[in-house]
């Protein structure tokens, strides 16, 4: 039936000039033609399409057959593939590019991941053919195409492990590879134009109109690269050649970097972009839109952590300068919540620091905002991030950062962190570092003005103090208090009263007032309080009186069970042990002071 | 660090030696020369037109070291002017002519005092990490093609260059010069702001000595290149001396 209808309309239109086809003609052709194809009559449709007499008709209406055609092709039934492909090819050669483009792009939108991947694989080649027919008008169409394709790719699940990448069940890797093949002729065109325009740079610009078009094309490719750097590249963990010898994702990343170079975007300029004051290019996009921060951060990570495109990246830059530039990217990555971003931020930070000699970063760097913001971000990761490995890594990088500062910078950094960290564990960690620095300074040949003498005392005063005086919650501030005690004990042992290199002996009376005495008081109060609590709890347990607790705690919508009496008692014992521990160090210090002062 | 201290010590030693020699040669002349003459009358001294500094300078130039010491007139003129009142200076000035404790009247002590004085002034006031005189530059340059000898980059200028970097064994670790094999890549000269610590020190220092159009061969010691760390990803081993052929194409 459909075949007859098709033949009819075709016959009728053979006689008419193409501008007098009615909309009814269009509709009949479209519906009948598509029905034939779906019914399996593609051979007949092919012969109609190929018929010399029908070429005008095909040029006008042929593109309407695309939906059915592609549906059948995606079904991959061998029987009809051959004919359908032939129809498709003929349409691509005959119909108007703009119309074909619309028809093809519509077919990219599919419902499920598998079909999305298949349609991308099927359609990229035809789309390329069509775009290449558009000549100098292709930029905006390329823009539409790339935008649609990337939107579809974003719907595909990402391989996380090496095995998943190898299996590529959802064909993401294949899509990436296809994309690279797709853009190749356009990249080539831009590259050729750049080479030619450079050679002709002396001549007057008669081809200005053409240059604008080429710039548009270049801009679209730049947009594509920037988008790809964000997704999928920032989301996936690339595997190194040792882990996975052939990695389509790594190849994709490399090709994106190469493409950027080919279209005249220097990788070094992109990496250093936050620090360079770029001239506002008379282009189509503003700086921040043109070079999204996230994409640049992703690029920097690829270059510095995975060493991709290493042969195009100059090896003459000062490692400290590279660190300064990278800090901007690191800051961006570490201030995000997604663990993928945080992990890449940490990796980039580590790689950038490792290239710098220990103790070489000067104090002036701390005047740069990122050098203060990034450690704060690290503290957040260390204390709040739900992934254990990231918490560990951020602490490692935090220490690495400290090790790279010179003495004055360390001093300033410690002061700053003590002031702003707001976390007892971090403060304790800093205090331990201070102790280590003092230890290094007291060794022969390492004398400096920061960790002994005049400068040390202000720092010590910030350390050897109880945050809330005698009312300080010793359990909450345990880390900090213990490290402070350890530091004090160290100083009292290490520094001879007669030498007083650290100034501790002249300062001691103040420390006793501000730290040791309040601590004594605090310990006594805390111990009394917890002993009473323990007594109460044990009595309550004995009498089996179940007191309804006044508070409940929920985590993620689940109410936690109330602590059993046993757990409560355990906790209280543990607290009392802690106070014993603190006291033992305090007593030891007092003994040492006694002994030394009486020598 | 140590080279700086050594240089400072050397300076001190040579200054002392020079002083000793000068003094030894000059002492007889000085004794025989006429004693200094009063430049100003009491009225002139008291006048506001006569700045303290001038009086101090005169006394410092002509008085014996021990005299200056006694009257607290040793040291930098500016500092002395801050602490000394005009009245004190007038008194000192008059005392000088009364006691005749001019320069050269106490030779032996003089030398010792002056040696001490020299030493004190030579001591650096602040311990800075950057020592001005670090010793010889850690690179060598041989000019392969002369530049225009007019356009030399200054610190902060943007320079553009073509370059090839090799290790001592000849391995090329980096270049931005397009070759037949590398036609694939878009080639542009490397542009950066010179003298700002953006590149390795050897480059910063060397490029400031080059003029536009010059091609030079630079041999850079590791201390001014990538030092102990090297750059493993770029095939630069630790403690590597780097050799660059650089052509300075543009200076902005």
Q: Band of the pLDDT at A376, cuts 50, 70, 90?
A: very high
Residues of A in contact with B231 (CB under 8 A): 315, 355
Q: Kindly state the percentage of chain A with pLDDT values over 90.
A: 69
Task: Considering only the beta carbons, identify the residue of A262, A315, A318 that sits closest to B174.
Answer: A315
Q: Assign 3-class secondary structure to chain B.
A: CHHHHHHHHHHHHHHHHHHHHHHHHHHHHHHHCCCCCCCCCHHHHHCCCCCHHHHHHHHHHHECHHHHHHCCCCCCHHHHHHHCCHHHHHHHHHHHHHHCCECCCCHHHHHHHHHHHHHHHHCCCCCCCCCCCCCCCCEEEEEEECCCCCCCCCCCCEEEEEEEEEECCCCEEEECCCCCCCCCCCCCCEEEECCCCCECHHHHHHHCCCCCCCEEEEEECHHHCCCCCCEHHHCECCCCCEEEEEEEEEEC
B226 and A319 in contact by Cβ < 8 A?
yes
B227 and A268 in contact by Cβ < 8 A?
no
The pair of structure tokens assigned to A175 is 């899509």
Q: Which pLDDT value is given to residue A20?
A: 82
**In this model, does residue B1 exceed pLDDT 70?**
no
Task: Considering only the beta carbons, identify the residue of B198, B227, B244 that sits closest to A321.
Answer: B198
Q: Is A176 left (phi over 0), alpha (psi -120 to 50) or beta?
A: alpha
Q: Band of the pLDDT at A231, cuts 50, 70, 90?
A: very high
Cα separation, A45 vs A84, whole angstroms: 9
Q: Which pLDDT value is given to residue B180?
A: 57
Residue A489 or A558, more confident: A489
Q: Which pLDDT value is given to residue B123?
A: 35
Show which of residues 146-165 on chain B sit within 8 Å of chain A, judged by CB atoms.
163, 165
A310 and B184 in contact by Cβ < 8 A?
no
pLDDT, tens digit, 9 for 90 and up, residues A188-210: 999 988 888 877 664 555 555 56
Taking CA atoms, what residue in B is nearest to A264?
B186
Taking CA atoms, what residue in A is nearest to B185?
A262
Give me the catalytic one of B67, B93, B102, B244: B244
Cα separation, A376 vs A382, whole angstroms: 10
**In this model, does residue A219 exceed pLDDT 80?**
yes
Q: Which pLDDT value is given to residue B190?
A: 93
Rounded to a whole number, what is the distance in angstroms from the first to the last CA of chain B? 35
Give the range among A202-206, A247-251, A448-452 with minimum mean pLDDT: A202-206
Give the range among A62-71, A505-514, B67-76 with minimum mean pLDDT: B67-76
Q: Which pLDDT value is given to residue A148?
A: 95
**In this model, does residue B20 exceed pLDDT 80?**
no
A318 and B184 in contact by Cβ < 8 A?
no
pLDDT, tens digit, 9 for 90 and up, residues A142-156: 999 999 999 999 999
**In this model, does residue B120 exceed pLDDT 60?**
no
User: Which DSSP symbol is given to A308?
Assistant: T
* Distance between A354 CA and the closest CA of chain B, angstroms: 9
Q: Which pLDDT value is given to residue A277?
A: 62
* Distance between B200 CA and the closest CA of chain A, angstroms: 5
A355 and B231 in contact by Cβ < 8 A?
yes
Q: Which pLDDT value is given to residue A548?
A: 62
Residues of B in contact with A317 (CB under 8 A): 198-200
Taking CA atoms, what residue in A is nearest to B177?
A312
Q: Kindly state the percentage of chain A with pLDDT values over 70.
A: 95
**In this model, does residue A186 exceed pLDDT 90?**
yes
Q: Does residue B183 sit at the A interface (CB-CB below 8 Å)?
A: no
Q: Band of the pLDDT at B39, cuts 50, 70, 90?
A: confident
Kindly report the CA angle at B212 between B208 and B218, in degrees rounded to 5?
Answer: 50
CA B147 to chain centroid, in Å, comes to: 29
Q: What is the mean pLDDT of residues B98-116?
A: 65
Count of C-beta atoms within a 10 Å radius of residue A395: 18
The yes-or-no answer on residue B93 being catalytic is no
The yes-or-no answer on residue B226 being catalytic is yes
Q: What is the mean pLDDT of residues A155-176?
A: 94
The yes-or-no answer on residue B244 being catalytic is yes
**In this model, does residue B219 exceed pLDDT 80?**
yes
Q: Which pLDDT value is given to residue A553?
A: 77
Cα separation, A408 vs A403, whole angstroms: 12
Rounded to a whole number, what is the distance in angstroms from the first to the last CA of chain A? 116
* Distance between B234 CA and the closest CA of chain A, angstroms: 7
The ipTM assigned to this model is 0.81
**In this model, does residue A357 exceed pLDDT 90?**
yes
Q: What is the mean pLDDT of residues A413-437?
A: 96
Cα separation, A405 vs A425, whole angstroms: 21
**In this model, does residue B239 exceed pLDDT 80?**
yes
* Distance between A311 CA and the closest CA of chain B, angstroms: 7
**In this model, does residue B161 exceed pLDDT 70?**
yes
Q: What is the mean pLDDT of residues B30-50?
A: 75
Q: What is the mean pLDDT of residues B72-97?
A: 85
The pair of structure tokens assigned to B175 is 């270049």
Q: Which pLDDT value is given to residue A201?
A: 62
Residue B117: φ, ψ to 5°: -60, -45
Q: What average pLDDT is seen over chain B?
A: 78
**In this model, does residue B114 exceed pLDDT 60?**
no
Task: Considering only the beta carbons, identify the residue of A191, A316, A357 that sits closest to B199.
Answer: A316
**In this model, does residue B61 exceed pLDDT 90?**
no
> What element of type H or E holds A559?
strand A558-559
Q: Which pLDDT value is given to residue B99?
A: 86
Q: Which pLDDT value is given to residue A81?
A: 87
Q: Which pLDDT value is given to residue A310?
A: 87
Q: Which pLDDT value is given to residue A588?
A: 95
CA A128 to chain centroid, in Å, comes to: 31
Q: Band of the pLDDT at B133, cuts 50, 70, 90?
A: low
**In this model, does residue B18 exceed pLDDT 90?**
no
**In this model, does residue B13 exceed pLDDT 50?**
no
**In this model, does residue B116 exceed pLDDT 60?**
no
Cα separation, B167 vs B169, whole angstroms: 5
Q: Does residue B107 sit at the A interface (CB-CB below 8 Å)?
A: no
Q: Which pLDDT value is given to residue B112?
A: 53
Give me the catalytic one of B58, B77, B90, B174: B174
* Distance between B217 CA and the closest CA of chain A, angstroms: 15
Taking every pair of Cα atoms in chain A, the longest distance, rounded to a whole number of angstroms, is 122
Q: Band of the pLDDT at B19, cuts 50, 70, 90?
A: very low
B173 and A357 in contact by Cβ < 8 A?
no
CB A10 within 8 A of CB A29: yes
Residue A13 or A287, more confident: A13
Q: Does residue B243 sit at the A interface (CB-CB below 8 Å)?
A: no
Task: Considering only the beta carbons, identify the residue of B174, B190, B197 that sits closest to A318.
Answer: B197
Residues of B in contact with A318 (CB under 8 A): 197-201
A357 and B227 in contact by Cβ < 8 A?
yes
pLDDT, tens digit, 9 for 90 and up, residues B183-206: 545 578 999 999 999 999 999 999
Interface probe for B, chosen from A191, A302, A315 (most Cβ of B below 10 Å), is: A315
Residue A599 or A249, more confident: A249
Q: What is the mean pLDDT of residues A273-280?
A: 70
Q: Which pLDDT value is given to residue A165?
A: 93
Task: Considering only the beta carbons, identify the residue of B203, B229, B233 that sits closest to A316.
Answer: B203
Residue B93: φ, ψ to 5°: -55, -50
The yes-or-no answer on residue B97 being catalytic is no
**In this model, does residue B27 exceed pLDDT 60?**
no
The yes-or-no answer on residue B174 being catalytic is yes
CB–CB contacts below 8 A, A to B:
62
Give me the catalytic one of B200, B204, B221, B236: B200
Q: Which pLDDT value is given to residue B26?
A: 40
Q: Which pLDDT value is given to residue B16?
A: 46
**In this model, does residue B10 exceed pLDDT 90?**
no
* Distance between B161 CA and the closest CA of chain A, angstroms: 12
Q: Kindly state the percentage of chain B with pLDDT values over 70.
A: 72
CB B240 within 8 A of CB B225: yes
DSSP string spanning A275-287? Answer: TS-----SSSS-H
User: Which DSSP symbol is given to A355?
Assistant: T
Q: Which pLDDT value is given to residue A185?
A: 96
Q: Does residue B199 sit at the A interface (CB-CB below 8 Å)?
A: yes
Give the range among A11-15, A231-235, A415-419 with minimum mean pLDDT: A11-15
Which residues of chain A approach chain B closer than 8 Å at the C-beta? Answer: 191, 194-195, 258, 261-264, 266, 268, 307, 310-312, 314-321, 354-357, 362, 406, 408, 449
The pair of structure tokens assigned to B186 is 């878009």
Closest by CA to A102, choosing from A157, A134, A145, is A145
Q: What is the mean pLDDT of residues A160-183?
A: 94
Q: Which pLDDT value is given to residue A204?
A: 52
The pTM of this model reads 0.79
Q: What is the mean pLDDT of residues A419-424?
A: 92
Residues of B in contact with A406 (CB under 8 A): 129
Taking CA atoms, what residue in B is nearest to A317?
B199
The yes-or-no answer on residue B67 being catalytic is no
Q: What average pLDDT is seen over chain A?
A: 90
Domains of chain B, each with CATH number or no CATH: 3-122 (1.10.720.80), 139-251 (3.10.50.40)
Q: What is the mean pLDDT of residues B77-95?
A: 85
CB A29 within 8 A of CB A61: yes
A321 and B129 in contact by Cβ < 8 A?
no
Give me the catalytic one of B97, B152, B173, B192: B173
């Amino acid at each position: 039936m459909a075949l007859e209808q098709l033949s009819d309309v075709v016959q009728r239109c053979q006689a008419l000039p193409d501008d007098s086809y009615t909309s009814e003609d269009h509709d009949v052709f479209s519906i009948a033609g598509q029905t034939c194809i779906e019914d399996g009559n593609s051979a007949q449709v092919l012969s109609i399409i190929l018929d010399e007499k029908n070429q005008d008709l095909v040029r006008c209406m042929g593109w309407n057959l695309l939906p059915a055609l592609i549906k059948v092709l995606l079904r991959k039934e061998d029987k009809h593939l051959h004919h359908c492909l032939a129809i498709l090819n003929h349409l691509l050669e005959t119909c108007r590019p703009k119309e074909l483009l619309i028809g093809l792009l519509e077919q990219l939108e599919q419902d499920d991941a598998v079909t999305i991947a298949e349609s991308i694989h099927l359609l990229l080649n035809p789309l390329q053919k069509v775009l290449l027919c558009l000549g100098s008008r292709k930029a905006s169409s390329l823009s539409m195409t790339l935008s649609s394709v990337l939107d579809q790719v974003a719907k595909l699940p990402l391989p996380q492990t090496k095995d998943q990448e190898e299996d590529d069940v959802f064909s993401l890797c294949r899509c990436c590879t296809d994309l690279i093949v797709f853009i190749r002729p356009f990249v080539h065109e831009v590259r050729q134009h750049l080479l030619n325009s450079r050679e002709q740079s002396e001549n007057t610009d008669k081809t200005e109109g053409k240059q604008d078009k080429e710039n548009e094309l270049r801009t679209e490719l730049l947009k594509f690269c920037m988008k790809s750097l964000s997704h999928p590249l920032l989301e996936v963990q690339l595997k190194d050649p040792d882990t996975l010898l052939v990695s389509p994702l790594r190849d994709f990343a490399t090709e994106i970097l190469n493409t950027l170079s080919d279209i005249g975007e220097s990788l070094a300029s992109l990496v250093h972009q936050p620090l360079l004051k770029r001239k506002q290019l008379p282009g189509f996009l503003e700086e921040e839109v043109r070079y999204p921060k996230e994409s640049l951060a992703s690029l920097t990570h690829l270059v510095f952590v995975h060493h991709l495109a290493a042969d195009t990246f100059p090896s003459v830059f000062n490692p400290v300068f590279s660190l300064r530039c990278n800090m901007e990217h690191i800051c961006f990555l570490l201030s995000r919540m997604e663990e993928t971003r945080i992990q890449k931020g940490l990796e980039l930070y580590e790689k950038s620091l490792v290239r710098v000699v220990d103790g070489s970063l000067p104090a002036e760097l701390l005047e740069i905002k990122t050098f203060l913001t990034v450690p704060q971000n690290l503290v957040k990761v260390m204390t709040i991030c739900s992934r254990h490995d990231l918490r560990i890594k951020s602490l490692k990088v935090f220490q690495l950062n400290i090790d790279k500062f010179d003495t004055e910078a360390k001093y300033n950094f410690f002061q700053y962190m003590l002031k702003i960290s707001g976390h007892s564990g971090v403060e304790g960690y800093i205090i331990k570092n201070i102790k280590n620095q003092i230890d290094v300074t007291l060794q022969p040949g390492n004398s400096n003005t920061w960790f002994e003498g005049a400068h040390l005392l202000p720092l010590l005063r910030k350390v050897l103090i109880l945050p809330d005086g005698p009312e300080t919650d010793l359990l909450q501030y345990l880390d900090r208090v213990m490290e402070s005690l350890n530091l004090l004990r160290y100083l009292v042992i290490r520094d001879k009263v007669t030498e007083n290199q650290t100034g501790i002996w002249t300062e001691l009376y103040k420390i006793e007032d501000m730290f040791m005495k309040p601590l004594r008081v605090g310990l006594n109060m805390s111990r009394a309080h917890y002993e009473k609590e323990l007594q109460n709890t044990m009595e309550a347990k004995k009498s089996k009186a179940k007191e309804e607790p006044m508070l409940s705690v929920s985590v993620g919508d689940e109410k936690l069970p109330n602590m059993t009496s046993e757990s409560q008692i355990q906790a209280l014992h543990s607290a009392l042990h802690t106070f014993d521990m603190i006291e033992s160090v305090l007593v030891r210090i007092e003994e040492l002071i006694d002994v030394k002062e009486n020598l | 660090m140590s080279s700086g201290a050594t240089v400072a010590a050397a300076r001190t030693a040579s200054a002392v030696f020079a002083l000793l020699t000068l003094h030894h040669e000059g002492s007889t002349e000085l004794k025989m020369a006429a004693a200094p003459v009063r430049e100003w009358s009491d009225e002139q001294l008291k006048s506001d037109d006569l700045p303290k500094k001038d009086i101090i300078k005169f006394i410092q130039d002509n008085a014996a070291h021990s005299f200056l010491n006694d009257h607290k007139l040793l040291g930098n003129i500016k500092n002395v002017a801050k602490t000394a009142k005009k009245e004190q200076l007038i008194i000192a000035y008059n005392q000088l002519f009364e006691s005749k404790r001019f320069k050269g009247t106490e030779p032996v002590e003089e030398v010792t005092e002056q040696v001490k004085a020299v030493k004190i002034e030579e001591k650096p006031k602040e311990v800075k990490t950057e020592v001005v005189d670090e010793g010889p530059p850690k690179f060598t340059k041989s000019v392969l093609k002369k530049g225009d000898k007019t356009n030399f980059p200054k610190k902060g200028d943007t320079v553009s260059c073509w370059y090839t970097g090799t290790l001592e064994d000849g391995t090329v670790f980096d270049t931005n010069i397009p070759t037949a094999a590398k036609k694939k890549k878009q080639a542009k000269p490397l542009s950066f702001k010179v003298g700002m610590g953006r590149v390795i020190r050897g480059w910063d220092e060397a490029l400031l000595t080059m003029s536009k159009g010059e091609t030079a061969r630079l041999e850079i010691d590791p201390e001014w290149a990538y030092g102990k760390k090297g750059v493993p990803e770029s095939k630069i081993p630790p403690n590597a001396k780097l050799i660059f052929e650089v052509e300075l194409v543009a200076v902005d």
